[in-house]
């Protein structure tokens, strides 16, 4: 119960800060919008191959925007040495990790949900019949992405090249999530049933479980001296 309260306090602090500054959300949304609009200009809206490109475009936007958001979220802990302040508290470091993770997932998901209807309009994709399936894939992928990203952003934030270092560290680890997300999204947009992308879903769930546990256990060492 104590752990949950500590996690809630840290997550709530992030939510409150973000609601005031909108730094994380605005940077993610602007980036997503740019990617979607530029690809829309590049490809002819009526072309037959566009349907095959939408999953890729969607996840390019989501992953890069997510990286921006993760960076932003950890930078706020650097200002005034706030992360040190949290580390001085008599709480387990994993509470800081879970608290940050909850905030990150919430805002990355929010940006993704806002962007989805725009993708539907700009790329002429019917999302409503497949929305549940799509949200499941987005949810699982975002969880895996944020689990690793929260840990690595804490590692990268103390370096001068954090904006470059985070994607370099993050993307090789996230390859299974990105592949599974793109492949599942493609199947979903083609209107295929759950069974056709169940394997990818299993991969996403396995990745989420393994990396959540791993990151939870290693955060203390990453964030230490």
Partner 1 sequence: MAAPLIQVAGLIKNYGYIKALRGIDLELAPGDFLSLFGPNGAGKSTLIRLLSTQAKPTSGRVEIAGYNLAEDTLELRHQIGVISHASYLYNSLTALENIKLYASLYGVEKPERQARKLIEQVGLADRMHHLVRTFSRGMQQRLSIARALIHQPRIIFLDEPYTGLDQHAAHLLSELLNQLNDGERTIILITHNLNRGLALANQVAILVQGRLIYHQPRTDVNEAEFEQLYFQHVSQAGQAGSGLINQLA
In this structure, what token pair is assigned to residue 78? 């650097």
Q: Is 22 or 202 the residue whose CB approaches partner 1 more closely?
A: 22
Q: Is 5 or 202 the residue whose CB approaches partner 1 more closely?
A: 5
Per-residue H/E/C for the chain:
CHHHHHHHHHHHHHHHHHHHHCHHHHHHHHHHHHHHHHHHHHCCCCCCCHHHHHHHHHHHHHHHHHHHHHHHHHHHHHHHHHHHHHHHCCCCHHHHHHHHHHHHHHHHHHHHHHHHHHHHHHCCCCCHHHHHHHHHHHHHHHHHHHHHHHHHHHHHCCCCCHHHHHHHHHHHHHHHHHHHHHHHHHHHHCCCCHHHHHHHHHHHHHHHHHHHHHHHHHHHHHHCC
Give least dist CB 26 to partner 1, A.
14
Q: Is 18 or 174 the residue whose CB approaches partner 1 more closely?
A: 18
Give least dist CB 169 to partner 1, A.
23
Give least dist CB 1 to partner 1, A.
11
Q: Is 97 or 200 the residue whose CB approaches partner 1 more closely?
A: 97
Q: Which positions touch partner 1 (CB under 8 A)?
A: 2, 5-6, 9-10, 13, 16-17, 20-21, 76, 79-82, 84-92, 224-225
Q: Is 160 or 225 the residue whose CB approaches partner 1 more closely?
A: 225
Q: How many Å apart are CA 158 and CA 140, to the nearest integer? A: 29
Give least dist CB 4 to partner 1, A.
12
Give least dist CB 30 to partner 1, A.
19
Q: Is 63 or 73 the residue whose CB approaches partner 1 more closely?
A: 73
Give least dist CB 187 to partner 1, A.
41
Residue position matching structure tokens 């990105």: 178
């Amino acid at each position: 119960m104590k752990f949950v309260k500590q996690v809630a306090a840290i997550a709530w602090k992030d939510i409150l800060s973000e609601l005031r500054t909108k730094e994380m959300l605005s940077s993610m949304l602007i980036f997503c919008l740019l990617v979607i609009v530029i690809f829309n200009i590049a490809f002819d809206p009526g072309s037959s191959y566009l349907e095959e490109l939408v999953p890729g475009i969607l996840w390019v936007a989501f992953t890069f925007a997510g990286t921006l958001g993760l960076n932003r979220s950890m930078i706020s802990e650097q200002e005034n040495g706030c992360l040190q302040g949290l580390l001085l508290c008599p709480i387990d470091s994993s509470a800081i990790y879970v608290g940050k993770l909850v905030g990150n997932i919430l805002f990355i998901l929010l940006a993704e949900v806002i962007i989805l209807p725009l993708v539907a309009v700009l790329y002429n994709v019917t999302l409503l019949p497949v929305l549940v399936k799509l949200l499941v894939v987005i949810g699982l992928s975002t969880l895996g992405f944020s689990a690793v990203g929260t840990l690595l952003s804490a590692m990268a934030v103390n370096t001068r090249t954090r904006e470059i270092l985070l994607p370099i560290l993050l993307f090789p680890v996230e390859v299974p999530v990105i592949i599974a997300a793109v492949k599942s999204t493609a199947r979903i947009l083609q209107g295929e049933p759950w069974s056709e992308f169940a394997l990818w879903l299993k991969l996403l769930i396995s990745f989420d479980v393994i990396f959540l546990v791993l990151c939870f256990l290693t955060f203390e060492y990453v964030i230490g001296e």
